[in-house]
Every structure is written in structure tokens, then in C-alpha cells.
Structure 1
Amino acid sequence: MSRTERLLDILQILRRHRRPVSGAVLAQETGVSLRTLYRDIATLQSMGAEIDGEPGMGYVLKPGFLLPPLMLSPTEIEALALGLKWASQRTDAPMGEAARNAMAKVGAVLPPELRHRFEDDALAVIPHWEATEREDLPVIRQALGEERKLLLGYADQHGARSERVVWPITVGYMDATQILAAWCELRGDYRHFRVDRIEHVSLLPERMPRRRRDLQKEWRDTILQNRPSEPS
């Protein structure tokens, strides 16, 4: 591993942790001595990386420090391109346009050798379903971001219609549809709603009484114990 790659690895390790990481752990993960690790930290700090800490106390990278795209590895470039291609084809129109704009911006700042990997179609998303326009997805995403309640008009798998006030938690993107996980006030429990069965959706002014992050954790614990079914 070159020193440049090692420095990038140190930054990536620090970005994965919110709490201080000891020098011993960093040295072990990068395969160098503790003395070399301390020199690498000093080098990164001199290059502008806002790394707080000192020997014996651990190190933490301040939020907001970003690596420019040109410092991504070729495999990371391919992964990024594949993900953006998927988002451009398998989501709603605003999200698809955002993905295409992001691809253009990233491609514009990459050096030629990486731009070729980024624009190459060696890894492609093959469409095998007919995309439908989902005007409700932008509303759902707004509710997720603002932590607000939604009013859903929903038809279940048997065709029974109902209106639900829900606290949206997350949207899972599958090949042919999307699944909204939410707390349902009617049932007093977590439920999964197929987005293609939502007949209308309205963003309510009320905010959710609990933080979405807390609901997500509780929901994950719930599905590990007993996966919630489609609304009844």
C-alpha cells in the first residue's frame, strides 16, 4: 500500500466512527507502526484535515471534512456510477433528475483516467420493468426530511380502502415498487405500505411526536423479532 492510499484509508476509518479512535486501532487497520501512524496523522492535519486528538486519547475527524471525488479509487468510482445509474432509472422523476445532475457534476471534476471508468457502461442497470410516474414519492421524501405526518389513502392487497395517518420512517426501493415503513396511528403499530397502492397522499402540518431516528431503531428491532405485514 502506498503512503497516499494509507492516508486515505486513515480518513475513511475516521469517517466511519463518531467517537475517537485510538492510534493503536488505526495503526493495526493500516498495517503500520504506531510511530508511523502518528506521523501520518500529523501529515493529514498539515494538509487541512480537521483531526482532533492526541496520542493516548484517540482521534476524531470533525464533521464536514469531505474528500473530493478525484480521490476516490477506481472501484469506488464504479460503485458510485452504478448507484447513480440505478437512482436515475428506478426512482421518481425529481430523484432521477437529481441523480443525472450528480453524475454530470462528478464527471466534470474527475481526472481523465477516472472519468473513463465513471462513464463506462461495463456495469449497467438493465431495465426489466416499466417505470411509472409516482408523484407521491417527493411528498413522502419531504415528510421524511421534515419529520411530519402523512395522510394516506390506501388500498390493501385485497382491495379494501382506508385512510391512515402515519409517521413515515423510511422508503425501501425494490425493483418493481417501493415500500413505505411507517407507524400507523390507526393500528398503533408499525406497518409497511406499498407505494403503488397509495391512492393519494397529503403532507400534514403536524410534526411527528417522536424523532424519526428513534422510530427507525425501534422499527428495526421490531422487524427482527416479528416482521410487520402489509396494513390490515
Structure 2
Amino acid sequence: MRRADRLFQIVQILRNKRLVTAKALAERLEVSERTIYRDIQDLSLSGVPIEGEAGVGYRLRHTLDIPPIMFSLDEIEALVVGARMAKTWAGTELGYSAQSALDKITAVIPAELRDKIEDSKLFSLRFTPRRDLDVNLDICRKAIDAKRLLRLCYCRADGEQSLRSIRPLGLYFWGNVWTLVGWCELRDDFRNFRLDRIQNIEPDSATFTDVEGQSLQDFVKRMTCI
């Protein structure tokens, strides 16, 4: 858990107005009591009105007014279906992050909206989950962010396989298929690769920089002119 997330969680726990010991906070957040003491001190110095002391417990003063995050019912539904789609289709890491984000929102919204999240009847299903697709998606997403070359073995629809070195530029979701668009070193041009046809994929140690005429923006311009 990132430190910023932990500080947020501490504030939410202390909002119940009951004394909470550093030991209880440490156990819940899976850190040491020493870490909790440092976090409490930093929160206090930043202006969060925490009262209490080591060995007794901590709580927020009643004067603290943290307004709840307000959403309409439609916005809540949109967040729920978005998180559920990410959990189903967006890879392992983004799936966990989507649920974590939804948990944070649930913790600070009014009870009636919290019930809407729990009772939502909107679902996202994938009947043939494939672990390799989730792994491929996670690898591609990280490579795009880091501008890292990818080496992959790709199988075309006719069964022909080829080894490619590409500059990954973007990922597109087409309803039930993800495609990776990149600049292919072999073809010296843009190419789209279906993630479910990638037999093997490895990030290279080499990185790349954007080249005029070979960026994602250039790809989009070309597609809009077709």
C-alpha cells in the first residue's frame, strides 16, 4: 500500500470518533506501530485535527468536517460498471486497482449511495477467462508507459508465426478483444496485434523515444483519413 493511501485510510478509520490505538491501526494496515506514530505526527503537522496520545489511542476531534463525496445515482452506477468491467477485462493489476478505488469511494459516501453500490444489478462477464491475456495486457500497459520495446511471437489468423520487435503505442478494446498498436521494426510501419494471438511476449531492456510520423497521434491521424 502506498503511503498516501495509508494516510487516507487512517483518517477514514479515525472518523468514527472512537479511540483507536496505534496497535490496532498497525494491525489493520499491516505496518509497524512506529510507522503509525510517524503517520499520525505527519497528519497532525499537515493540519488534520487528531487528538490522543501513544498508549491511549487517537481520534479526530468532533470539529473536523470532512464533506462526503457526492455522486448521483447514475454516477454511482457508472463507477460500479466501470470497475466491474476493469476487473473482468483490463488485466490483473488494473482489476485490483479498480476494486481498491471502489472500496475507497464506498468508505466516504453516504449510506444510501453505499447501498446502491452493493445492490447494483449491472455485471460484466467473461466466460472464457485466460490468464495469459491478463498477463499480456499488464506487460503491454507497462511497456507503453515506460516506452520500452517489446519482443513478441505473433500468430496470424492463418497460423503463420513471426517474431516481432515493436514500439508499443496504445491499447484498444473492441468489446471482447484487445489489440496493441505499435510501430513494427520488421515491417517499418504501424501494425495492430491481437493480444489473444500473441504466443510469447517479453519487454526489452531498450527504450524508445517518439519519432515524427511514428507516434500514436500519427497512427490516429492515418486511421481517420482512411
Q: Normalising by the residue count of structure 1, what TM-score does the alignment of the two structures yield?
A: 0.62
- Deviation per CA, 1:166-185, whole angstroms, max 9, x where unpaired? 11111112333211111111
State the partner residue of 2:118. 119
What are the within-5 Å matches in structure 2 for residues 23-42 of structure 1? none
Number of the residue aligned with 2:161: 161
> Aligned with 1:183: secondary structure?
strand
State how far apart, in whole Å, the 2-side matches of 1:73 and 1:113 are: 11
The number of aligned residues is: 157
Structure having the higher Rg: 2
Q: Is the 8 A contact 1:148 1:203 kept in 2?
A: yes
C-alpha displacement at 1:155, in angstroms?
0.7
**Contact 2:180 / 2:193 at 8 angstroms: preserved in 1?**
yes
Look up the equivalent residue of 1:133 and give its one-letter code: R
Q: CA deviation at 1:158?
A: 1.0
User: Structure 1: 5+ residue runs without aligned partners?
Assistant: 1-67, 227-232
Contact 1:84 1:100 in 2 (8 A): yes
Give secondary structure in 2 for the equivalent of 1:123: coil
Write the distance in 1 (CA, Å) between the matches of 2:80 and 2:151: 35
SS of residue matched to 2:215:
helix
How far has the Cα of 1:204 moved from its partner? 1.0
Counterparts of 2:129 and 2:71 in 1: how far apart (Å)? 32
Query: How far, CA to CA, are the matches of 2:208 and 2:153 in structure 1?
Result: 19
User: Counterpart of 1:107?
Assistant: 106
Rounded to whole Å, the distance in 2 between the matches of 1:133 and 1:165 is: 23
1:18 match:
none
Matching of residues 171-210 of structure 1 within 5 Å: 171-210=171-210
Q: Which 5+ residue runs of structure 2 have no aligned equivalent?
A: 1-66
Offset at residue 165 of structure 1 (A): 0.9
Shift in CA distance, 184/69, structure 1 to aligned 2, threshold 3 Å: farther
State the match for 1:131 in structure 2: 129
Over 3 Å counting, the alpha-carbon distance change for 1:190 and 1:200 in structure 2 is same
Counterpart residue number, 2:70: 71
Cα-to-partner distance string for 1:62-118 (whole Å, 9 max, x where unaligned): xxxxxx881333322211111001111123222222222222122112111221222
Residue 146 of structure 1: how far off its partner (Å) = 0.6
Q: Secondary structure at the match of 1:175?
A: coil
Deviation at 1:211, TM superposition (A): 6.9
Q: Secondary structure at the match of 2:69?
A: helix
Matching residue of 1:88: 87
Q: Distance in 2 between matches of 1:89 and 1:155?
A: 24
Q: Aligned equivalents of 1:96 and 1:175: distance in 2?
A: 17
CA contact (8 A) 1:144 1:170 kept: yes
Instruction: Provide, for residues 114-173 of structure 1, a one-character-per-residue CA deviation record: whole Å limited to 9, x for no partner.
Output: 212222323332x25311112222111110111111111111111111111111111112
What's the counterpart of residue 225 of structure 2? 225
- Cα distance in 2 for residues equivalent to 1:195 and 1:222: 22
Amino acid at match of 1:157: A
RMSD: 2.2
Matches within 5 A, 1:39-58: none
Q: Percent same amino acid among aligned pairs?
A: 31
